[in-house]
Structures are given as structure tokens and as C-alpha cells.
Amino acid sequence: MRDFTIRIPEHLPVMLKEFRKQAGLTQAEVAARMGVSQQTLSALERNPEAASAARLMRLLAVLGVELVLRKSESSDHVEPLADNSFW
């Protein structure tokens, strides 16, 4: 299976929608499997950064998509988070 790298938040909504379409599922079908309304799923697809990690992970599971975190080979340093911590 092919990997897709997401480096900026704007890539995630596009990828979620495309994974859903590749799975042959409508928003209503995915929403029903997640136990949410179609409107909630639509909002999640448009603005996934506002979703809880649990809800995003549930969506990925319904779509048959794994989340893999891997340190970038092109970067030797880690950017601090907003509170200046690294983890």
C-alpha cells in the first residue's frame, strides 16, 4: 500500500475525503458507521484539526487507514510545540 505524507494541516481534509471515496463510501455511510450525523462527518472532513484524536482515529479505522508516525529523514531537529516542549 502506498504512503501519503501530510506536512501541513491543509492536506488532511483532502486526504480524508479521497480515502472515503476510494473506499466507495458516502458521508452518510461513514457517519452511520461512526455513530455520528452526516453533518458532523462533513464538518470533520472539512476541519479535522478541530476533531478529537479519538474521533479522527475512529474515522481512519472506518476508512481502513492507518496512522503512522515517522521521524522525517530530511530534518535533524525537532520543532518545539506551542508551549516550548518537545513532547
Please report which confidence band the pLDDT of residue 86 belongs to, taking 50, 70 and 90 as the band edges. very low
Average pLDDT over residues 33-49: 95
Residue 68 has pLDDT above 60, yes or no: yes
| Separation between Cα atoms, residue 84 and residue 80, nearest integer Å | 5
Mean pLDDT of the chain: 87
Number of Cβ within a 10 Å radius of residue 20: 20
Assign a CATH topology to domain 11-63.
434 Repressor (Amino-terminal Domain) (1.10.260)
Q: Where are the domains of the chain?
A: 11-63
Average pLDDT over residues 68-84: 69
Average pLDDT over residues 7-36: 94
